[in-house]
Amino acid sequence: MRVTSCAFAGALCFGAVSAFGLQPAGNAVKVAHPNSPFMGRGGKAMVQPINIDGTPLNSNMALRAESSSSNLSARGGGVGAGALKGIDVPLLTYFLLWYVGNYYYNITNKLALKAAGGSSGFPMTISALQLGVGCIYALFLWAAPDAREGPKITFDDVVKMLPVAFCFMGAHSASVFALSAGAVSFGQIVKAAEPAFAALLSQFVYGKKISTAKWLTLPIVIGGVIIASVKELDFSVAALISACIANLFAAFKGNENKKLMETAGLKQRIGSVGNQFALTTLLGFLMSIPVVLFKEGHKLGQFFEMFKTNPAISYNLIASGLWFYGYNELATMTLKKTGAVTQSVANTAKRDIVIIGVALVLGESLDPIKLLGCSIGIGGVFLYSIIDQLLGNKSDGGH
């Protein structure tokens, strides 16, 4: 079962202006049409992945929306008004774009890595340039009139942001390498074990006590990853280790970010969630340059020649950079509008969609044992996320 971009293009018009700082013209719900600036000919999204042979990978690959604009329009006293009443349309739009963005990022990222030679090619260069694409987009928003007001941070603020940016860069680079060394589905399963790393760091490095109930759910997560690894046809020790390193960096980033946000007045000087992610991306990109030069600097000439001549590399690299930046910013905005349990459900559903959807599109193995391990591991992550609320009889404070 494959997913296309028609439904995504419709939501993108409203979601993009809301999420990336542009102001919509009115409160009406906008509907996709063939003349939408985010759609190409034939009603297809303009950012489409390209296969390693240079052909577009867009046939039968997305969520088809068959409903007409009349079914989506809200009219006073009509069926549309009753259907949309009480529904947070912007939040649903964020969820849709977050999921679709993450889905397409994983596809375009894997295709770019394959075309560039996999783990023995240029994974560090590709991961750094993906951040570079995000930097260009962030700078454009700050420069464009009426798009997004820039931050008013000090040099001391930048210095305090360095640990978060370094962990962000490390998590992204290690994740890209893991996905270059093995199957996307396997890398995502291992990355689902991030709460185990977060718990260890919180307890023993940052001195934040983790409840006994949470500790008891971790064997479920780890057991699921082990079971999924047993029947993994594309199993790679390098992929396993790199994904674990990515988890470690991500766990450090979460804790360091909490410390950073406690700085007096910093939130006001940064200005918005979008600015915070833009600054982190800019600093992370600058930090990734020495890593690229150290690991792959001796063959960068070969990469840039491939970039100029092979559209499977150039197109998918640029597309993956845009998808990565967009879905991460949208994920942050989405999670800020929801409560703890909703966040857990959303993350779990996203991981499931990416693992199964990307595996089907890229032809990766979906052995029953692998799926069983995946279900156990991700189920354990979900339980880890909500166990304290369940035992404490606390309700979700969000949507």
Q: Where do the H-state alpha helices sit in 144-272?
A: 155-181, 184-191, 194-204, 212-230, 237-260, 266-270
Q: What is the pLDDT of residue 256?
A: 86
Q: Rounded distance, CA 187 to CA 171, Å?
A: 13
- For 12-75, the DSSP string reads HHHHHHHHTSPPPS-SSPP---TT-TTB-GGG-BS---B-TTS-B--TT-E------HHHH---
Could you report how far apart the first and last alpha carbons of the chain are, in Å? 29
- CB of 224 within 8 A of CB of 377? yes
pLDDT at 53: 57
Query: 56 - beta bridge partners?
Result: 50
Nearest residue to 382 via CA among 353, 339, 351: 351
**CA 360 to chain CA mean position, Å:** 19
What pLDDT shows up at residue 138? Answer: 93
Q: What is the pLDDT of residue 383?
A: 84
Please state, in angstroms and rounded to a whole number, the distance separating the CA atoms of residues 375 and 299: 41
pLDDT of 319 = 95
Task: State the pLDDT at residue 97.
Answer: 84
Amino acid at 384: Y
Q: How far apart are CA 33 and CA 42, in angstroms?
A: 10
pLDDT confidence of residue 23 = 40
Closest CA to 245 of 296, 148, 179, 303: 179
pTM above 0.85, yes or no: no
Query: Residue 331 has what pLDDT?
Result: 79
pLDDT score of 255: 82
List of the chain residues with pLDDT < 70: 1-86, 231-235, 335, 338-345, 348, 393-399
